[in-house]
Structure 1
Amino acid sequence: FLLIIFALLSFNYLIFLLNIVRGIRIVKNDNSENDNKDFVSVIIPFRNEEENLLKNLASIESQSVPKTQYEIIYVNDNSDDNSVNILENAKSWSNVKIINSDLNLEERGHKKIALTKAIEEAKGEIIITTDADCIHGRDWLKTMINKFDDETAFVSGPVEFIEDETTFSKLQRLEFSSLILVGAGLIGIDEPIICNAANLGFRKSVFNLVSGYEGNLNLSSGDDEFLMQKIAKKTEYKIKFCFDDKAKSFTQPNSTIGEFFNQRKRWASKSLYYVKKSTTLKLVMIFLFYLGIIAQLILGLFYNQLFLLSFFFSMILKVITEYQIVQIDSKELFTPANIKIFFLAEFVHIPYIIISGFSGLFGNYEWKGRKIKR
């Protein structure tokens, strides 16, 4: 009976990954591009980012989009370092604004409240958000906004970690790229679930139409995904993924394993609150597949060797299909990882998913110096 359960979980995971492959190919072949002349508001929330803001500002001020077509709004989420002074002294043109988020420090939706204030003050119909620790190529903004047409309300963009020579950073780049690709594939098959606030855009009018972040202000994470899911559920507008390397945002990986797991706990904490419960069910089934792999290995070693066969079957299925996604279908967007890094990631991935999943649902975590309790 258990072998049948494990086989069904493996089959479900295979179908999920094949749909991701199909979705990635759909967004890759979406050549829709417009010479968009709409005024754009680039919004960057920040909290204690004094080490990153100068590079971030320089990359956004130097975009190829005419300066008359966009403004930059930095919204201060109660920083207690020198971030605001650094920005004030560094901004070189009048369309850079710095505003402060008014909120009670005891509240949880800090970033959403900060973003909402900035969106209210934004002049642009198209809102592009990124993070204060990101840098961008010169054509980033133009590439993102040119994905918008009259029928499009939300565009998700690619984000990439800047790796160094350490194995840890290479593993993070591969893992993070795979999350971006899964998000792209899901958008391609009209099941938008995953995106990243470090690189996305939406229409201000549609943000207001769906009441913005209302309904999940009690959560510290999810400003990006909840908004995308609400737009998909409540409107007929299109949601797109910008599969173009010129649209990438670049950011630094976590420097320690503790920081890495803390970030992943924060991301996992929102999964039970997704707009569609069928989405949560999909994620639960994937989580059970990973638990099943560990269970098969243990049962095969200590109970019945048939479970070892099913373990190897599940692993082969996982490795081959994920190789197709992260090493072949995505090479126009992300440089394929070293094959040793890929295989190491395949085995590290399993305990990492289980640990971060459980800790995100039941554990506390820290974000930007704030301790968030479940």
Structure 2
Amino acid sequence: MLEKIFLILFFPIIIYYFCFIVNIYRGLNKLEKWQGDRIIEEYISIIIPFRNESENILQILSSIENQNYPKGKYEVIFVNDSSNDDSLEKLKTNIKDKNINIISVPIEFESKAHKKRAIRYGIEKSKGDIIVTTDADCILKNNWLKTLVNGFDKKTALISGPVEFLEENGLFNKFQKLEFSSLIITGAGLIGINKPLICNGANLAYRKKVFDEVGGFDGQLSLSSGDDEILMQRIWKKKKYKIKFCYNKEALSFTKANKNLNEFYNQRKRWASKGLFYELKSTVTSIVLIFLFYLFLFSLLVLSFYNINFYLPLFASVFFLKIILEFAVMYKGSSLLFNKKILKYFLITEIIHLPYILILAISGVFGNFSWKDRKLTR
């Protein structure tokens, strides 16, 4: 009897999850391959918030200064978010181009000057029609800017770009690289079927007038994360603009993986903390159903100790189908954007992923975390 009730409750969730994965694959097939690059008519403002980035700040400065884009067609605004190291001094000393400026978040906002406030302040001071955001720990290819903005037409309001972790030694790095790539691939696939859910502010471009039209980050400043995805969903909700994914490796933004488990855990908790605060009910429903799928799968494993003949074969069947479908998505996405060599770590990542999702989902909702030497809540 218990087994029948269990199946009745969770069978629809299983079907939903597998349809979700299949739709990502469909979306990847629908992505438009971006050919070449171009100089667009609109003036561009690149916003780069930074806090205590002494180790990385000169690298992103070099990437920006080496862009193959006319200097008179864009500006760069570095937004100092209350740094207390020497990153600000390094910037001031090494800037060569006249189109690069530094501003600091006003002192009255210092106690609250998290990433959204820094970006919003940069936008307020910007002159561009197109806003492009990246992070201070990123490395960009020389054709990054003109490849990313190539997709703008009159109907396009936002373009999400690909982000990849830099290659480093160690199994922990490989896990992070593959897991992070799966998020980018998922975001790309969902944009491909016009159901945008995930994007990354380390490589994002949008129209300033549309940012203002949807209210920017208004009403979301109490959340420590979500500046990218909540904005994208607000734009999509208008139903009158196009959202695109930049399917071109020249637009890749490279960033560093976390150095240790504690740093990784806090970052992922911060990302998970926004999940229940998305403004689209359909998005929140999707997140809850995906969490329930993982909870169901874990429950099957635990219940195998109660009835091994029923629950263990069911767990093995569902988990095996999950592996097959997710590998197909990762293989397709890696072929489009990344290096397929990382897929040799796919199976071990799948095994880790089950408890990982459950732990982070719960701790992201109920726990506190730190970011850039700040203790934060949701």
TM-score (norm 1): 0.96
CA distance in 2, matches of 1:338, 1:146: 29
Matched, 1:303 2:294: no
Secondary structure of the equivalent of 1:191? coil
CA distance in 1, matches of 2:250, 2:291: 33
Structure 1 residue 111 displacement after superposition: 1.4
CA distance in 1, matches of 2:192, 2:143: 23
CA distance in 2, matches of 1:71, 1:213: 22
Residue number in structure 1 paired with 2:146: 142
Secondary structure of the equivalent of 1:149? coil
CA distance in 2, matches of 1:215, 1:276: 14
CA distance in 2, matches of 1:93, 1:30: 29
Residue number in structure 1 paired with 2:266: 262
Distance 1:339 1:191, change over 3 A: closer
Residue number in structure 1 paired with 2:321: 317
CA distance in 2, matches of 1:296, 1:30: 44
- Between the aligned residues of both structures, percent identity stands at 49
CA distance in 2, matches of 1:222, 1:332: 26
Indicate if the aligned counterparts of 2:39 and 2:69 stay in contact, CA closer than 8 A: no
Q: How does 1:117-156 map to 2 (within 5 A)?
A: 117-156=121-160
Q: How does 1:126-275 map to 2 (within 5 A)?
A: 126-234=130-238, 236-275=240-279
Structure 1 residue 32 displacement after superposition: 10
CA distance in 2, matches of 1:52, 1:251: 10
CA distance in 1, matches of 2:109, 2:144: 34
CA distance in 2, matches of 1:53, 1:322: 36
Matched, 1:37 2:41: yes
Indicate if the aligned counterparts of 1:157 and 1:241 stay in contact, CA closer than 8 A: yes
Indicate if the aligned counterparts of 2:164 and 2:177 stay in contact, CA closer than 8 A: yes
Indicate if the aligned counterparts of 1:140 and 1:246 stay in contact, CA closer than 8 A: yes
Secondary structure of the equivalent of 2:69? coil
Indicate if the aligned counterparts of 1:22 and 1:189 stay in contact, CA closer than 8 A: yes
Q: How does 1:272-351 map to 2 (within 5 A)?
A: 272-351=276-355
Indicate if the aligned counterparts of 1:25 and 1:329 stay in contact, CA closer than 8 A: no
Structure 2 residue identity aligned to 1:250: F
CA distance in 1, matches of 2:165, 2:75: 26
Indicate if the aligned counterparts of 2:178 and 2:342 stay in contact, CA closer than 8 A: no
Moved more, 116-125 or 197-206: 116-125
- RMSD across aligned C-alpha pairs, in angstroms? 1.6
Unaligned runs of 5+ in 1: none
Aligned residues: 373
Unaligned runs of 5+ in 2: none
CA distance in 1, matches of 2:46, 2:264: 27
CA distance in 2, matches of 1:277, 1:33: 37
TM-score (norm 2): 0.95
